[in-house]
A and B are shown apart, each in its own frame.
Chain A
């Protein structure tokens, strides 16, 4: 379902941008409070819940034993999928996964995969015969804006707490999954003509195109995605890239603190 955008909302967002203000009083590069909870799902081998404003997202990690691809006999696999189910918002309709769901899952997947935080070789049990398949499933329960960052955060936090269920599959003792790094996503949306960090539901409704940046521990880019209708300039990107470093670092600290508990 395509949501109706009141002309008055776009006008107001433009007016606020002019005055360097936002609807909820935040600064241009200020995020909402984020709450992160890990190990919160009983049947998942790793799990996390993220609440950002009105957005609520769960991620769960499951493992399966599979035969490796013939051309990579010593490598396991990692897959990350997202479901934008109709529970999350009035605008989501039942049916097969929408292009939006698939984009969301793939953008999160790329950020984690390309950061190299999972060594695929470490998922090998018997070369050519048995490897671990790691699956991260993200479940959006409430879409209150910027689900990309919430999903990215939930996925990596769940992965970092995952326990490999070797006993249940009769291949040794359970052990903690080795994850080398914490790739984090930062998302920016053009609202009222300028970019802002962490858009709320109303800002997304009355906004334009968005850019998602996933950065690794060293500040390297691991995934980029531009979505929705609109264009941007290299100078604009340079500005949000700067901001992304700081916001990603903040969230990485949040993940580390949560693991410390």
Chain B
């Protein structure tokens, strides 16, 4: 088998599969202690770190956490708030008081309408999945230009790379601004060629992000940037 990620002894497990004995081991996410055994609860790669066993899922829905920077789309407008599609199971709510503008009651629509795309932060999430968003903060704003893309949540680390190195390579290669939302929505702003190249790079992450050929494929794609030309 080929290892999907860097590092040794990576193991792909399916739900219910025994990972190892539970004695003296902490159980992390994607796993469960059952009797004396740790079992996987999700399809993914086994990770052992700091005496904790967890499973890195191969596929997952976006579950918002407070502080997440996300790219959201307005789904509904009320007099004093917006409902946002955040690419998760539940919509996020942006109250007038957390918008970046001074909004009069009933005037929400004048600032943002259905379909508008914003850069926002998750303010809080309660146990019942009620999600409150904020647009108060540096850089949080309505995105009036550029394009919207999707990358699977579990491949975001792959897209960013160690210390954002991969992401920076993409930015340099296509000469675009790229903002990666924790919710798997990515905003790209640049010229048509750059955007088209970025789209190919995201396709690569989506289709091969879990393969060990990813690095080589990305390097090959980099040789074919709008700047380098493809002769």
A interface residues, Cβ below 8 angstroms from B: 4-12, 15-16, 19, 21, 23, 25
**Band of interface residues on B:** 10 to 19
Interface of B is mostly: mixed
* Inter-chain contact B145/A11, CB cutoff 8 Å: yes
CA distance A5 to B187 in the complex (A): 15
CA distance A195 to B115 in the complex (A): 23
* Inter-chain contact A15/B192, CB cutoff 8 Å: yes
Q: Within the complex, which residue of A4, A8, A19, A21 is in contact with B147, where a contact is CB–CB below 8 Å?
A: A8
Closest B residue, CB atoms, query A24: B199
Q: Within the complex, which residue of B75, B148, B192 is in contact with A16, where a contact is CB–CB below 8 Å?
A: B192
Chain A to chain B contacts (Cβ below 8 Å), 29 pairs: A4-B73, A4-B75, A4-B85, A4-B114, A4-B115, A5-B115, A6-B115, A6-B116, A6-B117, A6-B148, A7-B113, A7-B115, A7-B116, A7-B117, A8-B117, A8-B143, A8-B145, A8-B148, A8-B187, A9-B147, A9-B148, A11-B145, A12-B147, A15-B192, A16-B192, A21-B192, A21-B196, A23-B199, A25-B196
Query: Is the CB of B137 closer than 8 A to any CB of chain A?
Result: no
CA distance A9 to B199 in the complex (A): 13
Q: A194 → chain B, closest Cβ, in Å?
A: 16
Q: A183 → chain B, closest Cβ, in Å?
A: 35
Q: B201 → chain A, closest Cβ, in Å?
A: 14
Of B113, B116, B196, chain A has the most CB atoms within 10 Å of the CB of B196
Q: Mark B136-169, 1 if CB is under 8 A from A, else 0.
A: 0000000101111000000000000000000000
CA distance A19 to B195 in the complex (A): 13
* Inter-chain contact A8/B192, CB cutoff 8 Å: no
CA distance A4 to B113 in the complex (A): 12
Q: Which 9 A-B pairs have the closest CB atoms?
A: A7-B115, A12-B147, A8-B148, A8-B117, A6-B73, A6-B117, A5-B115, A6-B148, A7-B116
CA distance A21 to B147 in the complex (A): 15
Of A5, A7, A9, A16, chain B has the most CB atoms within 10 Å of the CB of A7
Chain B, 172-216, CB within 8 A of any chain A CB: 187, 192, 195-196, 199
Q: B230 → chain A, closest Cβ, in Å?
A: 12
CA distance A47 to B117 in the complex (A): 44
CA distance A5 to B196 in the complex (A): 20
Q: A3 → chain B, closest Cβ, in Å?
A: 10
Q: Within the complex, which residue of A8, A16, A23 is in contact with B146, where a contact is CB–CB below 8 Å?
A: A8
Contacts of A12 in B (CB 8 A): 147-148, 195
CA distance A16 to B187 in the complex (A): 17
Extra pairs beyond A6-B73, A16-B192 (11, CB < 8 Å) = A4-B75, A4-B115, A6-B116, A6-B148, A8-B147, A8-B187, A9-B147, A9-B148, A10-B115, A15-B192, A21-B192
